[in-house]
Amino acid sequence: MYFLEIKKEHKDFLGAIRHWDNLKVAFETDTIWIKDFSAEQIISTELLQIPYTKLYELKDNLLFEKGKLLPVKKLSSGLLWAPILRALPVSLPMFNHNFFGIDQKIKMVLKPSENVKEAYALLADYEEVKSYILTAPKYRLELLRWVVIDKKVLIIGTPLLPLKGITYWFENDFLIPSGYDFEWNVLAKTLQEKINPSAEDLVLWNTDNTYSKIPIKNIKPLSISSFRLTFS
């Protein structure tokens, strides 16, 4: 059996799993305990992306951090367990993700992800794109948009063209390299509101955690004529 521990001050992050009505919750001083996870829930993205948590496995009333061989502490006796829907009502106060105390800072970084998400954009070299586009049938281009970035061509939309380059998936106005995701994806929407509040840009992320803002007004429909005019 697994137990999750989180401080009460961070309880708003539990909104990501509150709909798992099989869970039970207990309160202890400044700590919240959660139990009755299924095998699928323990390894789910929703659970792994909740910050400030510790996950334990219970053996002989001793708590072992998940994956560790030595016990950390005993499970407190006398905990009163209640269904999560009752213990954490919908009216939880909103957590201000834009403010963190000195000891509450979270660095938003990209990390390799096993979650497969559909590629939505392609960044390719000009010569690679040119050789295809100038001979492509009109129907193959008409659903796509494009913009020039540092002498490279970013093509947006699906189906992607069969070209070599870096592919990206799309979420919250972010173009994120395929095979990567934010370590704390639950905060991605908050990050989007912070760095792109007017939603006037697409934000292209690099694997080194740098990003570029692309004004949406600069992105145009892809066609042979628009490509020729841009590079004429």
Reported as a single tens digit per residue, the pLDDT across 141-192 is 988 999 998 889 999 999 999 999 999 999 889 999 999 998 877 778 888 8
- Region 103-118: mean pLDDT is 74
* pLDDT band, residue 202 (cuts 50/70/90): very high
Domain residue limits at 27: 2-87
Q: Are residues 136 and 83 in the same domain?
A: no
Q: Are 80 and 148 in a shared domain?
A: no
Task: Examine the pLDDT at 103 and tell me if it is beyond 50.
Answer: no
Note whether residue 102 is domain-resident: no
The least confident of 18-27, 94-103, 115-124 is 94-103
Residue 192 to residue 187: CA distance in whole angstroms? 9
Q: Is the pLDDT of residue 98 over 60?
A: no
User: For residue 105, is it within any domain?
Assistant: no
Question: How far are the Cα atoms of 108, 137, 150, 176, 214 from residue 173, in angstroms, in the given order?
Answer: 16, 29, 20, 10, 10
The whole-model pTM stands at 0.57
**8 Å CB contact between 23 and 17:** yes
The answer to whether residues 39 and 139 belong to one domain is no
Q: How confident is the model at residue 91, as a pLDDT?
A: 45
Q: State yes or no: pLDDT of 30 exceeds 50.
A: yes
The answer on 59 and 12 residing in a single domain is yes
Which of 46, 73, 80, 81 has the alpha carbon at shortest distance from 57? 73
One domain, residues 83 and 125: no
One domain, residues 65 and 140: no
Give the model's pLDDT for residue 106: 58
Which of 67, 87, 107 is where one domain is finished?
87
Name the band, by pLDDT with cuts 50, 70 and 90, for residue 105. low
Q: Give the total number of structural domains in the chain.
A: 2
Last residue of a domain, one of 38, 67, 87: 87
Same domain, yes or no: 46 and 135: no
Considering the chain, what is the average pLDDT of its residues?
84
**Residue 232: per-residue pLDDT:** 65
pLDDT at 97 over 70: no
pLDDT at 224 over 60: yes
